[in-house]
Amino acid sequence: MATTLSDSMFFIPSPIRLVYDTAYLAKANASGRMQYYRIIPGKSRERIGRADFIEVYNSGNIIAMRPVQERSTNGLFQIEFYVIDRAS
């Protein structure tokens, strides 16, 4: 019996608190169109363009990613990633 990659992968939540500057969210709405957001914790959530989202995804200092599962609605896709802006 063949083992697929998904059979050998699992998620273990970290007990260490995640410290980040900005979160980015890509979310499909009910009609299937993607919407992109920049979230600054405790301050703002603003909608951004696809090009801005892709630029940060390709060049940002991503420290974590989280798929957001919507079990109640089949086919919707969401992903969040967390970026640290400052040099540490």
Asked if 80 and 22 touch (Cβ cutoff 8 Å), the reply is no
Annotated domain spans of the chain? 19-83
Give this prediction's pTM: 0.73
Longest dimension (CA), the chain: 51
Q: Quick one: pLDDT at residue 5?
A: 47
Q: How far apart are CA 16 and CA 37, in angstroms?
A: 25
What's the pLDDT band for 55 if we cut at 50, 70, 90? very high
Residue 37 has pLDDT above 90, yes or no: yes
- Write down the pLDDT at residue 7: 55
Mean pLDDT of 15-21: 82
Q: In the 8-state DSSP scheme, what is residue 5?
A: H
pLDDT for res 4: 47
User: What region does 72 belong to: left with phi over 0, alpha with psi -120 to 50, or beta?
Assistant: alpha
